[in-house]
Amino acid sequence: MLLRHTLKEEVKREALTINPAKTCQPVGAMYAALGIHSCLPHSHGSQGCCAYHRSALTRHYKEPVMAATSSFTEGSSVFGGQSNLIQAINNIFTVYEPEVIAVHTTCLSETIGDDVDQIVAKAKDDGKIPEGKFVIHASTPSYQGSHVTGYANMLKGIVKGFAQPSDVPRDQLNVITGWVEPSDMREIKRLCHMMGVKFVMFPDTSDVLDAPQTGKHQMYPDGGTTIPELQSTGASSHSLALGEWSSLEAAKELDRKCKVAYDVLEIPIGIKATDRFVSSLSKHGNVDVPKMITTERGRVVDIITDMQQYLWGKKVALWGDPDILVPLVEFLVDLEMKPTYIVSGTPGKKFKQKMEAILKDAVPDAKVANGPQADMYLMHQWIKNEPVDLLIGNTYGKYIARDEDIPFMRLGFPILDRIGHSYFPTVGYSGAMRLLEKMLGLFMDRQDRDAPEESFELVM
């Protein structure tokens, strides 16, 4: 047993987190910044933060993840990181020539109280920021929230840095994507195009973190939301923020700064959340839903009605980010499955409220935990007491899956040991189809594996 020390008996913990279901803010900020075209993320802290975040993202995407660091030493920790950051800005623009540097802080630079706003202003005064180039920034202290908070803070930083108020409204919507994969961002764009709405989507990591093999390394791949697009978000008619935890702050900032009203929606995972997204596009874009979208939806529902017997009553344990878990759990309930254990390291009171609303009739005895000590160790303890039929979460679940012999569907961050997440979407109707294919495959493989010879089925 790899997790041989996990105790069945649940003991209340107040200080020790074991096998976390979250990580820290800066990695989210780095990921969000990669969704700006020609942007180099910059980590204002010790070298290790940047190395760790780049490694985590690289292992997850199998793609180059370029980012720089202020390389704090003991001296800079005492005297402040101003000179390191100004040097870094100068070196980055000279050597790596991005259009944008997106600076995020770390627990180190936050604890010593570096004022990045002031440092960037000084860099500008000193002539270290070439004409027409940008340095944006976000405060991302690792001791608050989680990686999702860091993503949200960088999106807010993008709005602060680029969105320009305008008296001449544009006939376009802002689509602010929560933390999803490049494949999902590509799928959200496809849905918007099919709907025939004009839109600016940010961030957009498609064609950045799923770049083609061409024999050349492009320091800044073709993808990412461009600066003119980001600047125009202030003139859009409305914002759709997908995922409250990861995109609300940016939508609020756009409203505050540029008076662009917003709706907060779930990330469109599953039938109903996608329905809401499509309806919202229809409403705010003043367009009808085209037949091909209705047909796509119908195909998903057809799979569900055909395969209902394999899904009914299946118990699921899930861990990950609130913005993914909320619509996903709703989808599982629509499939008449039983999301039984749900854990997220990301704090926020609303999580439990939302889960309760979805689960109160369908799975009244579901266990839900988020915030401090809501970790994978706790989830494993629950499973030890009462097992489930399926695990859904990031790669770290493979240890529980192996020890407890439970089918496991990888979803979330990070996925270190499989490919697919960056190429095939989870969002939209096609994403729902992929989720169904994967879950059904797991249940049927398990049935095939465990069936006695006399009842081994050819047709299922």
Q: Which is nearer to another protein, 30 or 359 (CB)?
A: 30
Segment lying near another protein (by CB under 8 A), choices 135-143, 265-273, 319-327, 351-359 = 135-143
Window 99-128: residues binding another protein (CB under 8 A): 106-108, 111-112
Tell me the CA distances in angstroms from 88 to 22, 116, 227, one per residue in order: 29, 13, 22
Q: Which is nearer to another protein, 22 or 338 (CB)?
A: 22
Nearest approach, Cβ of 56 to another protein (angstroms)?
Answer: 6
Nearest approach, Cβ of 52 to another protein (angstroms)?
Answer: 4
Q: Which is nearer to another protein, 35 or 41 (CB)?
A: 41
Instruction: Please name the residue ranges forming H helices in 73-225.
Output: 74-79, 82-91, 107-111, 116-125, 147-162, 182-195
Nearest approach, Cβ of 350 to another protein (angstroms)?
Answer: 19
Q: Which is nearer to another protein, 234 or 345 (CB)?
A: 345
Q: Which is nearer to another protein, 341 or 377 (CB)?
A: 377
What do you get for the CA distance between the two ends of the chain, in Å? 33
Closest listed residue to residue 84, CA positions, set 56, 57, 112, 58: 112
**What does the angle CA 50 – CA 112 – CA 246 come to, to the nearest 5 degrees?**
55
- How many chain residues interact with another protein (CB under 8 A)? 86
Nearest approach, Cβ of 312 to another protein (angstroms)?
Answer: 34
Nearest approach, Cβ of 336 to another protein (angstroms)?
Answer: 34
Longest dimension (CA), the chain: 80
Q: Which is nearer to another protein, 65 or 307 (CB)?
A: 65
Q: What are the beta bridge partners of residue 319?
A: 343
Query: What kind and span of H or E run contains 58?
Result: helix 47-61
| Residue 213 contacts another protein per CB under 8 A | yes
Nearest approach, Cβ of 342 to another protein (angstroms)?
Answer: 19
- 151-164 as b/e, with b when 16 or more CB fall inside 10 Å? bbbbbbbbbbbbbe
Order of strands across the sheet that contains 338-344: 367-370, 338-344, 315-319, 390-393, 408-410
Window 67-96: residues binding another protein (CB under 8 A): 67-77, 84-85, 87-92, 94-96
Window 320-349: residues binding another protein (CB under 8 A): 345
Window 215-234: residues binding another protein (CB under 8 A): 215-218
Nearest approach, Cβ of 251 to another protein (angstroms)?
Answer: 24
| Residue 45 contacts another protein per CB under 8 A | yes
* From candidates 127, 131, 143, 313, binder to another protein by CB under 8 A: 143
| Residue 142 contacts another protein per CB under 8 A | yes
Give residues with Cβ within 8 angstroms of 127, minimum separation 6. none
- Distance of alpha carbon 101 from alpha carbon 250, whole angstroms: 18
Nearest approach, Cβ of 306 to another protein (angstroms)?
Answer: 38
Q: Chain-centre distance of CA 205, in angstroms?
A: 11
Q: From its phi and psi, is residue 300 left (phi > 0), alpha (psi between -120 and 50) or beta?
A: alpha
Q: Which is nearer to another protein, 150 or 428 (CB)?
A: 150
Nearest approach, Cβ of 223 to another protein (angstroms)?
Answer: 14
Q: What are the beta bridge partners of residue 104?
A: 43, 138
Nearest approach, Cβ of 106 to another protein (angstroms)?
Answer: 7
- Distance of alpha carbon 447 from alpha carbon 455, whole angstroms: 10
Draw the binding track, 12-41, toward another protein (x: CB under 8 A; -: no contact).
Answer: -xxxxxxxx-xxxxxx--------------
Nearest approach, Cβ of 267 to another protein (angstroms)?
Answer: 23
Q: Which is nearer to another protein, 64 or 290 (CB)?
A: 64
| Residue 381 contacts another protein per CB under 8 A | no
Tokens of residue 46, six digits: 């010790």
Order of strands across the sheet that contains 262-265: 199-202, 173-177, 238-242, 262-265
* From candidates 4, 291, 349, 418, binder to another protein by CB under 8 A: 4
Closest listed residue to residue 198, CA positions, set 167, 171, 166: 171
Draw the binding track, 193-212, toward another protein (x: CB under 8 A; -: no contact).
Answer: ------------------x-
Window 386-425: residues binding another protein (CB under 8 A): 396, 399, 416
Closest listed residue to residue 245, CA positions, set 135, 410, 161, 371: 371
* From candidates 29, 35, 38, 42, binder to another protein by CB under 8 A: 42
Give residues with Cβ within 8 angstroms of 205, minimum separation 6. 31, 34, 35, 181, 182, 185, 223, 224
Window 249-288: residues binding another protein (CB under 8 A): none
| Residue 357 contacts another protein per CB under 8 A | no
